[in-house]
Amino acid sequence: MILRPHRNPMETPLTAILVLLFSFSCLHTRVFVQADGTASFSHTIPYGQEECLLIRVPKNEPHIISGSFDCLDTRLPTDPIRAALYNSDETRVWSSNYGDAEGSFSQKGSGKHWLCLENGLTYEQLDDKKPTKPRQQVTRTIGFALRVKKSARATANDMLG
Q: Give the residue among 32, 45, 65 at the shortest CA–CA distance from 145.
A: 65
Residue 161 has pLDDT above 70, yes or no: no
Higher pLDDT, 143 or 9: 143
**Percent of the chain whose pLDDT exceeds 70:** 66
**Rounded CA separation 100/12 (Å):** 37
pLDDT, residue 133, reads: 75
pLDDT tens, 20-49?
333 333 333 344 444 556 778 899 999 989
Residue 118: which residues within 8 A CB-CB, separation 6 or more? 45, 49, 50, 80, 81, 82, 83, 84
pLDDT tens, 63-112?
899 999 999 998 888 888 999 999 989 999 999 998 899 999 999 988 88
Higher pLDDT, 9 or 126: 126
**C-beta neighbour count of 155 within 10 angstroms:** 13
Higher pLDDT, 149 or 36: 149
Query: What's the whole-model pTM score?
Result: 0.71
